[in-house]
Amino acid sequence: MKLLVIGNGGREHAIVWKLHRDDPSAQLFCAPGNAGTAAIATNVPIAAKDVDGLLAWAKENRPDFTVVGPEVPLCLGVVDAFQEAGLAAFGPVRAAARLEGSKAFAKEVMRAAQVPTADDVVVRTEAEARAAIARLGVPVVLKADGLAAGKGVSVCMDEAQVEAALKDMFVDAKFGDSAREVLVEQYLEGEEASVLAFVDGATVVPLASSQDHKRLLDGDEGPNTGGMGAYSPAPAVTPDMMAVVKAQVLQPVVDEMARRGTPYHGVLYAGLMLTKDGPKVLEFNCRFGDPETEAILPRLSSPLLPALRACMDGTLADCPVEWDPRPSVCVVMVSGGYPESYPKGLPISGLEEAAKQENVVVFHAGTASRIGAVVTDGGRVLGVTALGGDIREAVDNAYRGVIKIKFDGAGYRSDIAHRALERLA
C-alpha cells in the first residue's frame, strides 16, 4: 500500500503516525513533511500549495490513496485535479471547500440550511464596517472572508480593540486579498467546542469532540493563534449535545451542499459556540483541525484509512469508527515571537526523552532536519500529546513530556484543558 499525505504540520504528522500505526508495512510519503514525518515516511520536497507539482509526482509514483491535510490545497482544487487524473484523494473538491475558503459563502449556506449562527454583515470598506459595528454593537467580531492561517479573526471587546482590528483589516491590509471582504459579526457568549465529522456526501459520522485553545496566553488572554493546544473529549459536548449538533448543524449543511450539486466528501469541521440558546456555528473548516487532530487521532482505535476511503466512496454508513475511552491532551510548543515574527533554525533537544514518557507522543509541526539535528522551522513547533485514565492524568502526562523539550524562546500555555479540569473540580 502506497500512501501520500499532503502537508507539513502537526496535523499531517498525526495522520502519518496513525496510518503507520495501523499498517507498519504501508509505504508512506509526505509532501513536504517535517522532521517528525521523516522518521516514519519519505518526505517529498513539494509544497502543499503546489498542485501542479503534487499532481506530477502522483502521476509518476501512483499512490494508492492521498490524504490532503491543509485547507489551501483543498481550496485550490487539488482533489479535483487528482480525481481528473484517476487518482484517489481524500477531501472535498474545490467547490465544496468554499465552506472554509469563504466565510461569506459559509454564512449563505447556513442561512439556506437554517443552521444557527451569529448575525453578520459583509463589508468591503472601513466606513461600511463602522456602520455595521454601530448596528451590532461592541463587543463584536471582525473576520477576514478568506483564508488567513487561523489568524484573520479579531474578537473586539472594547473600542480600542475595534480600532486596532479596523487598522489591521483596512489600513495596513494585514491579511491581503483574504480581507477584500470582511464579516462584521455579532459576538456570541458561551463555551467553544470543535466537532469534526466524517462525511461521504450524505452520511455524517461525528468524531470524538474536542476543544481548542486559540489565545496565546493562559486564561485565554493575548492574541488569537492557529491553536495553542486541544483536548478530547470536550465535556460540554454531551451525547445529547452531539445529537443536536449533528441534527441541527452538520446534517443540514451536508444536505444543502448536495442540493447545490456540490456534495461534501471528507472531514467537515464545525467550530461552535455553545450558547444559552443552543449551539451556534462560529466557522466551518474543510479538513481535519490543527491541533484538534493531534488530540483526536490517538483516541481513534479503529483504523483510519478505511474511514477515509468510505468518505470518498459513499460507504461511510457501513464503516465502523471506534474510540479509546481515555481522554487526550495536546500542548502546543511555539517559537518566541509567535504569532508575529519568530526565528527559525534553533536546535531542539529532549525529543527522545519526551517520547519515552508513558502514553506520550510528540507530533512535529514546524520542524526541520539539519545535519542530524532537529531544528525549529515554524511558529507552532511541536504538539505534545498524551492519553490518561482521566483528564487530570492526561494533562499531567502531556506536561511531563513538555518539560523534557528545550529550544531557545520556547513558549506554551500551562492551562490546556482548564475548562475540563474546572468541571471535574
Residues 251 and 311 in one domain: yes
- The CATH number linked to 288 is 3.30.470.20
State the residue range of the domain holding 373.
328-424
The answer on pLDDT for 151 being more than 90 is: no
Average pLDDT over residues 118-140: 94
Grid coordinates given for 9: 504540520
- Answer yes or no: is 274 within a domain: yes
Residues 305 and 402 in one domain: no
- Answer yes or no: is 48 within a domain: yes
Domain final residue pick, 59, 76, 93: 93
Backbone φ and ψ of 105, nearest 5° = -65, -45
- Answer yes or no: is 14 within a domain: yes
- Count of domains observed in the chain: 4
pLDDT tens string 95-110:
999 999 999 999 999 9
pLDDT tens string 35-89:
999 999 999 999 999 999 999 999 999 999 999 999 999 999 999 999 999 999 9
pLDDT tens string 379-412:
999 999 999 999 999 999 999 999 999 999 999 9
What mean pLDDT, rounded, does the chain reach? 95
Q: Residue with C-alpha cell 476543544?
A: 211
Query: What pLDDT is attached to residue 39?
Result: 96
- Answer yes or no: is 340 within a domain: yes
Average pLDDT over residues 177-202: 93
- The CATH number linked to 385 is 3.90.600.10
Confidence of residue 178 (pLDDT cuts 50, 70, 90): confident
Average pLDDT over residues 155-184: 91
Residues 272 and 332 in one domain: no
- The CATH number linked to 62 is 3.40.50.20
Q: How far apart are CA 208 and CA 206, in angstroms?
A: 7
E strands of 233-291, at which residues?
265-275, 278-285
Closest CA to 148 of 120, 183, 124, 121: 183
- The CATH number linked to 144 is 3.30.1490.20
- Answer yes or no: is 265 within a domain: yes
Q: How far apart are CA 278 and CA 62, in angstroms?
A: 46
Query: What pLDDT is attached to residue 150?
Result: 67
Beta strands 65-68 and 140-144 are: unpaired
H or E element, residue 306: helix 304-313
- Answer yes or no: is 333 within a domain: yes
Q: How far apart are CA 355 and CA 362, in angstroms?
A: 6
Grid coordinates given for 93: 473538491
Triad 210, 269, 340: Cα angle to 5°: 80
